[in-house]
Amino acid sequence: MSASEAMPVPASRPVPSRLPGARPWVTLGLLLALMVLVSLAVGSMTVPPSAILGSLWEALGLGEASERLDAMQRAVLFTLRLPRVLMAVMVGGVLATTGAALQALFRNPLVEPGLLGTSSGAALGAVLAIVLDVTLAAHVGPLRMLVVPGAAFVGALAATVLALRLGTGGGRTDTPRVLLAGVAVSAGAFAGMGLLTHAATDAQLRTITFWSLGSLGGASWETVGAAALPLAVTLGLLLSEARALNLMLLGEREAWHLGVDVERLKRKLIFAAALGVGAAVSFCGMIGFVGLLVPALLRIALGPDHRRLLAASALSGASLLLASDLLARTLASPSELPVGALTSVLGVPAFIALLARKGAA
């Protein structure tokens, strides 16, 4: 079965003409707010939730806190946990929204951003920068902390552009061919990573292993600021194409007759995926299953309308990554588990259950 045949097409039902009700937004928004509060409060040092709200209110200049934190709690809240929570919200939201958009574009519910080669390209760039760390450090000086994220971002964009070029022929982007090209690019990137590990020292190998499994432990106000722009641009690009993605479910020819510039849409969404996933992997490492599982489950619960599905994916993806990071910080405290490995552990049984449900249906 080809990628264009894998996702059921709602040909017998027209696209709804008005936005659905607000109840899903309220539920998912409250869940996200709860996860943010719990993530800020729970850890090796507990911070009272009531004091957190007051301190945030005071930091925004909107009033004075009725319950004050001591110096250590305030440092933990504003220096360590708040940047980490903001990074998790942005990265989880973008990964899930990107997955929902690509599943509609390829009309295949098993597509995720990693299949375009974006994640593996970012990993190859990061590993190359880690192995060449001594050489690069002599030239970049104070910018050394940005070398690995920068190399990962360049690797993500290069891998995605290569997959797009390989999947384009005669001025037309063949989406199944792009997907196959992405698989080939990913295989090549992982082969390159394997060769580079032979040149790495023991310390570099530990860094490569931990980075490739994903972590939010490096989040800081500097990395949050650097990641915010590409992640926000990605989210805006994806949300702006909700109606076009609804029409794409009818088929490329039908969408074109209904006014969708199909080629422009393909390039725009693939570029957005490269930008967002590249930025996410650059600062947090490889985090799997968020972009695959969240939109697949929400499509069952909410239906295929992307005006509802994309925003719901952003909220749910943020909540899932926050919950996973909370578990990663607390399950083996004081050490920390890699969050990417944890999302895979949580995602595999859920995905198997999803496949079993579809098979039974």
For 283-333, how does the pLDDT look when each residue is reduced to its tens digit (9 = 90+)?
Answer: 898 898 899 889 988 988 888 899 899 999 999 999 999 999 999 999 887
Quickly list DSSP for 125-193.
Answer: HHHHHHHTHHHHHHHHGGGGGGHHHHHHHHHHHHHHHHHHHHTEETTEE-HHHHHHHHHHHHHHHHHHH
Out of 33-47, 160-174, 268-282, pick the least confident: 160-174
**Could you read off the pLDDT of 110-127 as tens digits, one per residue?**
788 788 888 889 889 888
pTM of the full structure? 0.85
Token digits of residue 356: 């079993």
Looking at residue 9, what is its pLDDT? 44
Does position 2 have pLDDT exceeding 70, yes or no? Answer: no
Three-class secondary structure of residue 225 per DSSP: helix
Q: Is the pLDDT of residue 168 over 60?
A: yes
What does the pLDDT average to over 64-90? 86
Per-residue model confidence (pLDDT) at position 3: 42
Look up tokens 């990074």; give the residue.
Answer: 87
Are 219 and 84 in contact by the 8 Å Cβ rule? The answer is yes
Q: How many angstroms separate the CA atoms of 294 and 67, rounded?
A: 37
Q: Please say if the pLDDT value at position 236 is more than 90.
A: yes
Task: Categorize the per-residue pLDDT at 70 as very low, low, confident or very high, splitting at 50, 70 and 90.
Answer: confident
Lowest average pLDDT, out of 64-68, 170-174, 197-201, 316-320, goes to 64-68
Other CB atoms within 10 Å distance of the CB of residue 79: 12
pLDDT at residue 201 is higher than 70: yes
pLDDT at 359: 58
Distance CA 336, CA 339 (A): 9
> Which of 276, 265, 239, 234 has its CA nearest to residue 119?
276
The domain 90-360 is placed in CATH, from the list 1.10.3470.10, 1.10.8.80, 3.50.50.60, 3.20.20.10, at 1.10.3470.10
Mean of the pLDDT values across residues 229-245? 93
Q: Are 167 and 181 in contact (CB under 8 A)?
A: yes
